């Protein structure tokens, strides 16, 4: 069962978004994230922004890992821990970007809010579907 079918099979809270919303939302968020990173790079270069860009790279890895934990490996407990860790890392990235260029930090705010929502959704879905996760 693929990710769309798996998501459709889960009991979800009333406040869960429809599955068609994920594609457009992530397209907008990834665009904002890329522009934010570009602004930081343009302002300081790689050497001058090693910490902010390193945080950015680390949160991208965690962002990708969540999908594998939740959809492919169905490790609900780890997905919950991971998405909270991702949220903290995004917040750190936002602060680091803000210190370099406030607009770059502001561009990460929608991402932070979406992942906070996704974290609450993850916890809720895993709790509502104990048999669906390892």
Round to whole Å and give the CA distance between 26 and 45: 26
Residue 14 lies in a domain: no
Total tally of structural domains belonging to the chain: 1
pLDDT at 127: 97
- Indicate whether 100 belongs to any domain: yes
pTM, two decimals, is 0.94
- Structure confidence at residue 96 (pLDDT): 98
DSSP conformation class of 18: P
Please name the residues in contact with 106: beta carbons below 8 A apart, sequence gap of 6 or more.
98
**Domain contains 4:** no
Given a contact cutoff of 8 angstroms between Cβ atoms, the answer to whether 8 and 19 are in contact is yes
List, for residues 27-71, the tens digit of each pLDDT value: 999 999 999 999 999 999 999 999 999 999 999 999 999 999 999
The answer to whether position 134 is within a domain reads no
Q: How far is Cα 112 from Cα 91, in angstroms, rounded to an integer?
A: 7
In terms of residue numbers, what domain contains 102? Answer: 21-129
**What is the maximum span of the chain, computed from C-alpha positions, in angstroms?**
49
* Residue 8 placed within a domain: no
Give yes or no for a contact between 114 and 91, defined as CB atoms under 8 angstroms apart. no
Domain-embedded: residue 25: yes
Quick check: is 3 in a domain?
Answer: no
| Cβ pair 11, 129 in contact under 8 A | yes
Residue 12 lies in a domain: no
Sign of CA dihedral 91, 92, 97, 98: positive
* pLDDT single digits (tens) 76-116: 999 999 999 999 999 999 999 999 999 999 999 999 999 99
């Amino acid at each position: 069962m693929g990710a769309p079918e798996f998501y459709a099979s889960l009991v979800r809270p009333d406040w869960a978004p429809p599955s068609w919303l994920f594609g457009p939302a992530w397209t907008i968020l990834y665009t904002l994230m890329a522009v934010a990173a570009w602004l930081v790079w343009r302002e300081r270069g790689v050497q001058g922004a090693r910490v902010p860009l390193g945080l950015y790279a680390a949160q991208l890895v965690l962002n990708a890992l969540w999908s594998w934990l939740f959809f492919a490996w169905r490790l609900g407990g780890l997905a919950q821990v991971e998405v909270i860790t991702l949220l903290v890392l995004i917040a750190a990235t936002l602060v680091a970007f803000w210190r370099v260029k406030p607009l770059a930090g502001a561009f990460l705010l929608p991402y932070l809010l979406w992942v906070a929502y996704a974290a609450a959704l993850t916890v809720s879905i895993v709790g509502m579907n104990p048999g669906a996760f390892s």
